[in-house]
Structure 1
């Protein structure tokens, strides 16, 4: 009698809200590959949704986690102090110029909740400005500041009050219908218009944004824009929060994504890749702000778990040992190969990204978004042992989230499969 697959078994016990991008059942992972229950070796260019930046089961991370498990699995960071927590905080403070302090949580959404709570507490203001196309989490508060899909909000209204949405500088599809030659940076002047018509700046606690937008389409904003937002926040005493949950910890070729833009936030958040698969996140804020956040104003039980902190320390050490160089080199190579495909196929509208955070946007003849081809290519890919994810508010962007340890031969394999999907779609 044939055994049921993990997917088939899940249908009886797991609700549909816990959806998956594929129906694959996997039994182990190693490097850039997942191994399935039916014996397939699958190249993973999703990396657990930008979590496994060092690849699956990095040996140094596993070693650090096992050693910590022999010492202490849980102590409770609101009860006692322990080495891995304090040492990781010291390391992150060092990486951020010794001007910050760190609070650890479990998930990206939890970190973003902490960040907006911190901003509200410190400023004693209520309003938050977020961006269309953003994704910050699925809790009620982070759903309130997420602007990439109305389905995340359906049946959950009312949400956190006093949230306002600005246009993100999506240059390929400029919301102001401008092009590079005629652009007047309306994406910057929109804030003064917002302050005049919707909310006074003195009522705004924070502007929260992804330095590189993830779910919204792997969109890289102009450096000039981020610098302007920093100046606006300085002018009005608004906290600038960067959500680096997906774009942080090496994904853009630097430890922190905002380093690419030479702009320092007041507060920023990290999660996903911070501990190579162990649940951990961080709220990182300027010291002068964090010192004003008193005991009891925020908290949690599992944040800063000893094993996760040990895994994070090992992750940072690996990133600093040459992995970031590989991310930049392989990111450049991947981008070059994708641009070659763009020259061959008119359905590819744009290639963009930094490091190994790269998006490929597909369009119809009239330049309207084409999400159907992305769905088709992803299906062809998984049938040919490659995992790819889509993104974009119109679901028309393929996102390439290869591990930062990826090799040229693995990129070549992925490119050939993507091209196979394009050709098959166009020849339907």
Structure 2
């Protein structure tokens, strides 16, 4: 860990458990998955395996990355207030989502271009989710067909919709999701423009063309090449058929979809999409409490309070900032939050503030990038173990007991 130099010239240790850099503390970066004790270990393993441009795509935020930082700061602004002498010999971390019990209080968030990290990544994420009996939200910009993912036994399959192109495209994707039996439709509304992820762009000489240095550095990552690129370049399997034929190459299709996001998307169109979808309907990307009210007004079943992992508009709030007021005003609405979740204590804070569940995105991608499907399973297991232990230490027997009285600012 880094040791910083303060204004007086004194050495400032990053934790009170170290002095002048001792004892030395290092995250695990080897290949034995069972030695990954935390999500941070999986992250370190992922960084060793991924080429720099892929790690940057995974990690980066927009512009000054202030929104990305706010996600962590919002979580850090709360302290846990445990109860003493509570019988916690039996603990229950199950939650109810849309009338169905889930054994864990989190789901896997929608993320695009996962095949950059491991071949058949969306299938691997979904398999791990099915094994854990938690929902998997598959992105429009995923690389495996929704029908293939939907066929995974036992999966709670939610479909995330990007609204791009003509109306016929979104309607076709909604029909496909319906026919595939997806439990819920999640419409993302904060990506009508592509966030300015400057550090990611510096890896390219121009869109779609890596720098020579990035190409050479990538060639050194033989395990990544063997497990990711042996099947050739991925495609956006669920969206590419709606792209003009001359633009269906990997980068060309991504740029076409990005350029054709529906910038006129409004609440009237959202209400129309609500009427088209026969099952649970969620809106993802809300931060303004007035927008949560509008979502309730068009009879959305839930909202996901999210700033897109800090990758879109910079200098926004975290979804966690909006959560308490949203819960106070809209008690009957399913509220899910994401952003910066790396620890079991992060999950418990969000639940205590009123979330029905939490989405994890990068945390499971770290596991995927480190070791494929087994890595995703390990990420889920780490969070499960931490939540279970932290519930006991907090003096709570179940998730249902959590509330603001377990927290202090």
Greater relative contact order structure (CA < 8 Å, 6+ sep): 2
Structures share fold, TM-score greater than 0.5: no
* TM-score in terms of structure 2 length: 0.34
* TM-score in terms of structure 1 length: 0.33
